[in-house]
């Protein structure tokens, strides 16, 4: 009842108040109070939003590190698979009853295979534990006796449980005959007799130095209070920024270790909530890559304070602006009301004859404000439309990238297997072609790096031309005149290949017969590396030449995207607009392409 009386009294006072007071009251109820409530709600939500953003960012970093580690492990696993796939190895390992000289021949073949794989695939050591009756079972470099294995060790039980599949053994110190001990990780598996599968004829261990993983983790940007490490399901550190802790137990509880196996990736906190853990499982292993950092850093307090300060400053400025705007409006309304009251008083006292009817004209401020708001709305509309178009382009690019994905390591390993098959069957020409294609593929991948040396780029071009000449029975000759001191210069990957391909397809192949030469030369001019590619193809007209370096568009449907892409990548790589591609051509005489790269 008292509340109702208070409300009636307030409404009565409001109805009798001046226009200025009414405007201020409306401002407080409509703007100030809701604004304060919105700010409070914003402050509560900001911390959670930014924490999720920081978590997502860190998980993306872990995803990249996990991807790089998986690529390295896949290379090791492919070596193990290639050994298992070699049917002759099973025959060698089952030959304990052979004469000694035949066993020695088997040993030589196996050693040659292992040394080749170690040299070409970046493997530290391939070790094979074999029947102790074999004469080479005590060679102690690549071959060891099965009796040397610690059959009670947990890792050996895991190897048995895999039943022929790879088990990834975490970091351990392995002594090697004739060289210093090394910390390695290994892909270990059992070899079964193909005729009597229950019989084990060997245990294969492909060792790679843990430095491979250490180098990947070292590229993860960390603060002094953060850790990133790889841990196996037995709580042993596979990799850590502190090399002395490798192989030691990780600072994780049993409950935290259990968390690592729940899903492919995720996050959790310790009991006090002061430390946060983000993790991602490494496929085909019992390992997880883990980031450990203070929860306060994950919350990004400094970022929150910066954003809140900016928003608060903007909010206060807006509130003050609106407040003075309301006051100005109220003052204008009060002034107008006063003018009306004065006019009314004059009419009542002296009549209409003394009223001239003149009123002050507005200066047009409201009209200017309306125009400014209209322009702002149009600008926001344009930006929204542009953002929508950008998202459509981004989704289209993501779809094309997804459609273009091929597992490069699967193809590379398949080529390697085909090469071995061709060698065994004496098909030298096929072997040469496959080896060239394999080299081309390996150099194109370049272990995921976007930068190569000039020597590697020239080797890729030679492989490409060998493949092309073999495939099309072409008579195109390639000449490379590059000083040895320039071969170590670095440039973006796949810089020369698109240009050479254009020279072949759109230059020399347009001739009859399809024969010609491509000359590549390079020189150093101050800070610039200049590379010239010349062909004696059909050349091109000036108007076609002008189109080649234009950005691709619906109206410019020429086969120039490769050249434009090279031109833009060279400018980005050099960080200088003077870098890029320059073209000259004479119809019937050929085309010259000049590349400038800042080194």
Each residue of 157-174: pLDDT tens digit? 999 888 888 999 988 888
At 347 the pLDDT is 47
132 in any annotated domain: yes
320 in any annotated domain: no
387 in any annotated domain: no
- DSSP code of 19? H
Rg (CA), the chain: 38
If asked whether residues 593 and 486 sit together in one domain, one would say yes
64 in any annotated domain: no
Question: Which range marks the domain in which residue 524 is found?
Answer: 449-598
Residue 294: pLDDT band by 50, 70, 90 thresholds? confident
Work out whether strand 287-294 and strand 265-269 pair parallel, antiparallel, or are unpaired: unpaired
If asked whether residues 456 and 594 sit together in one domain, one would say yes
Q: For residue 323, give every residue at least 6 positions away whose Cβ sits within 8 Å of its Cβ, in sequence order, or none.
A: 27
If asked whether residues 453 and 560 sit together in one domain, one would say yes
At 432 the pLDDT is 72
Separation CA 584–CA 592 (nearest Å): 5
If asked whether residues 590 and 457 sit together in one domain, one would say yes
DSSP 26-66: HHIIIIIHHHHHHHHHHHHHHHHHHHHHHHHHHHHHHHHHH
Compute how many other C-beta atoms are within 10 angstroms of the C-beta atom of residue 275: 19
At 439 the pLDDT is 76
Beta bridge partners of 452: 491
Residue 126: pLDDT band by 50, 70, 90 thresholds? very high
State the burial class of residue 333 (Cβ atoms within 10 Å of its Cβ: 0-12, 13-18, 19+). Answer: middle
Domain end: 276, 299, 322, which one?
Answer: 299
Separation CA 124–CA 181 (nearest Å): 12
At 63 the pLDDT is 86
Separation CA 257–CA 168 (nearest Å): 18
Each residue of 243-256: pLDDT tens digit? 888 889 988 888 88
What mean pLDDT comes out for the span 350-356? 44
> According to the per-residue pLDDT averaged within each range, which of 298-312, 336-350, 582-596 is highest?
582-596
Q: How does 492-515 read in b/e, with b if 16+ C-beta sit within 10 Å? A: bbbbbbbbbbbbbebbbbeeeeee
If asked whether residues 185 and 253 sit together in one domain, one would say no
Q: What percent of the chain has pLDDT above 70?
A: 70
If asked whether residues 459 and 593 sit together in one domain, one would say yes
Q: Which of 345-349, 435-439, 524-528 has the lowest mean pLDDT?
A: 345-349
If asked whether residues 202 and 239 sit together in one domain, one would say no
Separation CA 102–CA 96 (nearest Å): 10
Q: For residue 41, give every residue at least 6 positions away whose Cβ sits within 8 Å of its Cβ, in sequence order, or none.
A: none
CATH code for position 196: 3.30.450
Separation CA 347–CA 358 (nearest Å): 14
If asked whether residues 460 and 540 sit together in one domain, one would say yes
3-state secondary structure of 202: strand
If asked whether residues 465 and 590 sit together in one domain, one would say yes
Contact 285, 72 (CB under 8 A): no
**How many separate domains does the chain show?**
3
Which residue is listed with tokens 């009386």?
5
Domain end: 180, 213, 246, which one?
Answer: 213
If asked whether residues 236 and 207 sit together in one domain, one would say no
Each residue of 441-457: pLDDT tens digit? 777 776 667 899 999 99
385 in any annotated domain: no
3-state secondary structure of 191: strand
At 363 the pLDDT is 44
If asked whether residues 209 and 226 sit together in one domain, one would say no
- DSSP code of 146? G
Beta bridge partners of 129: 144, 203
538 in any annotated domain: yes
Give me the chain's average pLDDT, please.
78
pLDDT at 513 over 90: no
Contact 497, 460 (CB under 8 A): yes
Q: Which of 49-58, 184-193, 295-304, 556-565 has the lowest mean pLDDT?
A: 295-304
Residue 88: pLDDT band by 50, 70, 90 thresholds? confident
Separation CA 10–CA 290 (nearest Å): 62
CATH code for position 553: 3.30.565.10
What mean pLDDT comes out for the span 132-158? 89
Cis peptide, bond prior to residue 513, ω within 30 of zero: yes
Q: What percent of the chain has pLDDT above 90?
A: 21
Separation CA 116–CA 108 (nearest Å): 12
CATH code for position 283: 3.30.450.20
* Measured CA distances, 340 to 346, 347, 353 (Å): 10, 10, 16
Which residue is listed with tokens 């009209």?
367
50 in any annotated domain: no
Beta bridge partners of 192: 200
Q: How does 17-41 read in b/e, with b if 16+ C-beta sit within 10 Å? A: eebbeebbeebeeeeeeeeeeebee
Q: In degrees to the nearest 10, what's the CA dihedral of 147, 152, 154, 160? A: 60
Q: SS in 3 state form for 512-534?
A: CCCEEEEEEEEEEECCEEEEEEE
pLDDT at 398 over 50: no
- DSSP code of 553? B
Question: Does 28 or 512 have the greater pLDDT score?
Answer: 512
Rounded (to 5) percent helix, strand, coil in the chain: 55, 20, 25
Residue 406: pLDDT band by 50, 70, 90 thresholds? very low
* Measured CA distances, 465 to 291, 468, 472 (Å): 46, 5, 10
422 in any annotated domain: no
* Measured CA distances, 321 to 315, 327, 328 (Å): 10, 10, 10
If asked whether residues 479 and 564 sit together in one domain, one would say yes
Domain end: 213, 244, 269, which one?
Answer: 213
């Amino acid at each position: 009842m008292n509340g109702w009386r208070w409300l009636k009294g307030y409404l009565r006072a409001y109805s009798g108040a001046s226009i200025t007071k009414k405007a201020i009251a409306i401002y407080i109820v409509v703007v100030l109070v809701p604004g304060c409530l919105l700010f409070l709600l914003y402050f509560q939500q900001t911390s959670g939003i930014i924490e999720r953003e920081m978590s997502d960012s860190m998980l993306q970093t872990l995803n990249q590190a996990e991807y790089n580690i998986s690529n390295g492990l896949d290379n090791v696993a492919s070596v193990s698979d290639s050994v298992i796939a070699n049917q002759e190895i099973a025959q060698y390992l089952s030959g304990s009853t052979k004469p000694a000289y035949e066993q020695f021949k088997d040993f030589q073949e196996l050693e040659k295979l292992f040394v080749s794989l170690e040299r070409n695939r970046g493997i530290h050591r391939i070790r094979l534990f074999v029947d102790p009756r074999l004469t080479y079972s005590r060679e102690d470099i690549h071959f060891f006796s099965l009796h040397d294995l610690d059959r009670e060790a947990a890792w050996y039980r895991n190897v048995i449980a895999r039943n022929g599949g790879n088990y990834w053994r975490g970091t351990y110190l392995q002594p090697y005959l004739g060289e210093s001990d090394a910390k390695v990780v290994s892909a270990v598996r059992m070899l079964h007799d193909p005729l009597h599968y229950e019989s084990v004829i060997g245990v294969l261990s492909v060792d790679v130095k843990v430095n491979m993983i250490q180098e990947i983790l070292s590229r993860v940007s960390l603060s002094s209070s953060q850790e990133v490490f790889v841990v196996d399901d037995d709580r042993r550190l596979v990799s850590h920024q502190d090399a002395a802790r490798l192989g030691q137990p990780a600072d994780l509880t049993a409950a935290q270790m259990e968390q690592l196996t729940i899903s492919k990736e995720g996050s959790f906190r310790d009991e006090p909530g002061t430390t946060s853990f983000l993790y991602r499982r490494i496929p085909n292993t019992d390992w997880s890559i883990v980031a450990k950092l203070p929860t306060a850093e994950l919350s990004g307090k400094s970022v929150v304070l910066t954003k809140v300060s900016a928003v608060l400053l903007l909010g206060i400025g807006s509130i003050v602006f609106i407040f003075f705007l309301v006051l100005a409006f109220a003052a204008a309304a009060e002034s107008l009301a006063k003018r009306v009251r004065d006019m009314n008083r004059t009419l009542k006292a002296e009549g209409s004859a003394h009223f001239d009817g003149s009123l002050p004209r507005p200066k047009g401020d409201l009209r200017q404000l309306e125009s400014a708001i209209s322009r702002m709305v149009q600008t926001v509309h344009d930006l929204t439309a542009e953002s929508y178009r950008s998202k459509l382009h981004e989704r289209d690019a993501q779809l094309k990238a997804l459609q273009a994905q091929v597992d490069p390591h699967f193809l590379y390993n398949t080529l390697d297997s085909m090469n071995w098959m061709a060698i065994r069957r004496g098909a030298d020409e096929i072997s040469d072609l496959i080896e060239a294609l394999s080299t081309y593929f390996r150099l194109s991948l370049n272990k995921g790096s976007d930068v190569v040396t000039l020597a590697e780029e020239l080797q890729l071009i030679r492989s490409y031309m060998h493949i092309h000449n073999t495939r099309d029975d072409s008579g195109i000759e390639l000449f490379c005149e590059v000083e040895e001191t320039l071969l170590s210069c670095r440039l973006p990957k796949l810089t020369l290949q698109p240009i050479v391909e254009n020279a072949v397809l759109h230059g020399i192949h347009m001739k009859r017969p399809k024969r010609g030469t491509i000359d590549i030369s390079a020189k150093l001019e101050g800070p610039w590396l200049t590379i010239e590619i010349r062909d004696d193809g059909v050349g091109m007209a000036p108007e076609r030449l002008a189109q080649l370096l234009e950005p691709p568009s619906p109206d410019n449907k020429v086969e120039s995207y490769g050249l434009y892409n090279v031109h833009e990548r060279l400018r980005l790589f050099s960080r200088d607009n003077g870098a890029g591609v320059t073209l000259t051509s004479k119809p019937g005489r050929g085309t010259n392409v000049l590349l400038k790269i800042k080194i």
